[in-house]
Structure 1
Amino acid sequence: MTVLLAVGLSLVSAVCYATAAVVQERTAAGAASLRSALGRGSWWGSVALNAGGALLHVVALRYGPLTLVQPLGALSLVVAVPLGSLVTRGRTSGRQWRGTAFTLVGLAALLVATASGGAPVGTLGTGEVLLVALAGAGAVGALVRLGGSGRLSATPAGGLAFAAASGVAAGVGSTLAQKLAVGSASSWGLAAPAVLTVGFATAGVLLSQRAYRSGLGGPLAVLTLVNPVAASAIGITLLGEGVRYGGFGGLGGLLALLGAAAAARGVLLLSLPGAPSRAERDVPLTGMSRAAL
């Protein structure tokens, strides 16, 4: 029963995250920079949606294991892709649907291979919290430097690097949130995880806003993929949640590998340029608009 509650909370959380992603992408499309985006009411609306999704996610972590709750966030992709097309008066292409399907099937395979299915019993110790935070910060910093480098900063690949950084930050934040949801330490013992959770969650939102400047589908798919993979890796490594069906060397390892390949294929399909929206097709190609294209 507790696992079903975790699944239900995760589904509502995914809808909140999906709606927030569409709002962020639309805000990024109409803003010249991150600073100008922060001055818009729509961006703060997306922050409220993200906060609601995060709260539901934390509660879900109290009733289900990290390797179960985290991959369910992939359902945000199913909602966000058609919702984004609806908002822009465009059409969700067959390639986008295939990319979404590949990503979800891949994540489902990873879920089957890794989810232990019971309520969480273990949490990170103090030293492990600091280790995870340092490793996560290092990975996020490296990806941000990669995405902001001269060769990639103005390309879709740069946006994907920022999306990966956002996914790592979100995955680490969820792992630390699991400590808050399940841990039984004193208030002082939970202070550091609480501060780090807020820090990584905030970084994840800001980095996703930067990533959505290159579109919605590709960055959201990368974020959706990296987030549970990062959290599951921590859960398997430090919380003993493990790979099922024979471990990495058995059927579970093969299933996880095939799932990762399918999800990567989905990300690639969603990263390719899509057809122009109806609004974009209706705009006459003046000299200025041709230069912009």
Structure 2
Amino acid sequence: MNATLIAVALSLVSAAAYASAAVAQARLAGRTEPDAGVLGLLGRGAWWSAVGLNAGGALLHVAALKYGPLTLVQPLGALTLVAAVPLGARTAGRRVTRIEWRGTILTLLGLGALLITAGGTAPHEMLSLPEALAVGAGTMAVVAGLSRPGARPGLRHAAASGITSGVASALTQTLTVAVTDHTGPLLSWRLVIVALLVSAFAMGGLLLSQTAYRGGLGAPLAVVTLANPVAAAAIGLALLGERLQGGTISLVPALLGTAAAVRGVILLSRAQARTQAQPLAVAGPAAPDPEPAAGSPSRVVVGSRTPMDQPVLRPEPGRAPVGGP
């Protein structure tokens, strides 16, 4: 079978696993106190289920990187968002909205255009030790800025998660090529350090996404989905000798595909925000206090106020009303 087709197939199954993990993480984030911390997650079975799904998706992703370049495999990770939309709707007991379907179609069209320009041969380049250290240091600096202490959980943590996951994928490709192509000893300092960086960034991305999902699934997952391939593709193009197919002309469908995918992700994010706001709209304003019966006494209750901050008179049996006879 063609190497590109194998990479695409493995990436699709990987995206399904990641989507299931994202839905599980979002549900767990909604049931966990913000100050629970890492130790609080370790005692939850749902957390370990999400870790298992992420691990399965990561293994499939590593296998895909053996057969396809970063510029092909990483954009397919955007299908995680597409798979998470119907899965999340099914879990919530609702139907997928029209805006969500529009966003899904646009995202798929954008990915199709990107695949035309990103298809290539199986990777053979590896990062050198200085390049791996530089990539690791730069990533840590960016992530520290995005997730600094006191920052409100949300899109910045999602961006940090996507960047760390994308960098972990780029570093994983170096390990994959070294192991499968037998280029040098397997216990070299370079591979040991790269393996440690991959482990640190993979776990960091998982914890950062868990923090980001406290505000919901749609928008954070969209940012993770976009930041991941951008970070990995930047490393692939800058350091691993990967190129877009078709030369300069290929930039046109690549840009159009990127625009369509971004628009699709935005629609999916907006649809998620509207879905989360629906319960509040259905609940409506609180019902007013019942009017006292005619002739019944009442007293002034201090501390209960109307929207205009005026005192409210509430009845109390056995007490004469204020200003009464």
Equivalent residue of 1:127, what SS? helix
Structure 1 residues 280 and 53: alpha-carbon distance in aligned structure 2, compared to 1, 3 A threshold: farther
Aligned to 1:265: 263
How far off its partner does 1:262 sit?
Answer: 2.2
Q: Deviations over 1:1-60 (max 9, x none)?
A: 233222222222111111000000000111112524443210111001101111111122
Higher CA-based Rg: 2
1:85 to 82, 86, 89: 89
TM-score (norm 2): 0.77
Aligned to 1:128: 131
**1:75 pairs with 2:79:** yes
Structure 1 residues 257 and 138: alpha-carbon distance in aligned structure 2, compared to 1, 3 A threshold: farther
Paired with 2:257 and 2:284, the residues of 1 have a C-alpha distance of 44
Aligned to 1:253: 251
Paired with 2:142 and 2:278, the residues of 1 have a C-alpha distance of 39
Structure 1 residues 178 and 22: alpha-carbon distance in aligned structure 2, compared to 1, 3 A threshold: same
Equivalent residue of 1:244, what SS? coil
Paired with 1:22 and 1:77, the residues of 2 have a C-alpha distance of 10
Q: Deviations over 1:78-133 (max 9, x none)?
A: 211110011011222111222233333333333332x2421111111111111211
Which amino acid letter does the alignment assign opposite residue 7 of structure 2? A
Which amino acid letter does the alignment assign opposite residue 79 of structure 1? A
Paired with 1:280 and 1:92, the residues of 2 have a C-alpha distance of 19
How do residues 19-38 of structure 1 correspond to structure 2 at under 5 angstroms? 19-33=20-34, 35=37, 36-38=40-42
- The gaps in structure 2 that reach 5 residues or longer are 288-325
How do residues 10-49 of structure 1 correspond to structure 2 at under 5 angstroms? 10-33=11-34, 35=37, 36-49=40-53
Which shifted more, 183-192 or 159-168?
183-192
8 Å CA contact retained: 2:100, 2:267: yes
Aligned to 2:8: 7
Aligned to 1:290: none
**1:275 pairs with 2:275:** yes
Structure of greater relative contact order (alpha carbons < 8 Å, 6+ residues apart): 1
**1:180 pairs with 2:181:** no
Structure 1 residues 235 and 161: alpha-carbon distance in aligned structure 2, compared to 1, 3 A threshold: same
How far off its partner does 1:237 sit?
Answer: 0.9
Aligned to 2:160: 165
* Identity score, percent: 52
Paired with 1:283 and 1:76, the residues of 2 have a C-alpha distance of 32
1:103 to 107, 114, 117: 107
| Regions of 4+ moved over 6 Å | 277-287
Paired with 2:142 and 2:108, the residues of 1 have a C-alpha distance of 25
Structure 1 residues 19 and 285: alpha-carbon distance in aligned structure 2, compared to 1, 3 A threshold: farther
How far off its partner does 1:265 sit?
Answer: 1.9
Paired with 1:192 and 1:266, the residues of 2 have a C-alpha distance of 38
8 Å CA contact retained: 1:6, 1:60: yes
Aligned to 1:242: 243
TM-score (norm 1): 0.85
Structure 1 residues 91 and 10: alpha-carbon distance in aligned structure 2, compared to 1, 3 A threshold: same
Structure 1 residues 160 and 275: alpha-carbon distance in aligned structure 2, compared to 1, 3 A threshold: same
Paired with 1:235 and 1:276, the residues of 2 have a C-alpha distance of 37
Q: CA RMSD in A?
A: 2.4
Paired with 1:238 and 1:180, the residues of 2 have a C-alpha distance of 15
Paired with 2:177 and 2:55, the residues of 1 have a C-alpha distance of 19
- The number of aligned residues is 275
User: Which structure has more helix as a fraction of its residues?
Assistant: 1
Aligned to 1:218: 219
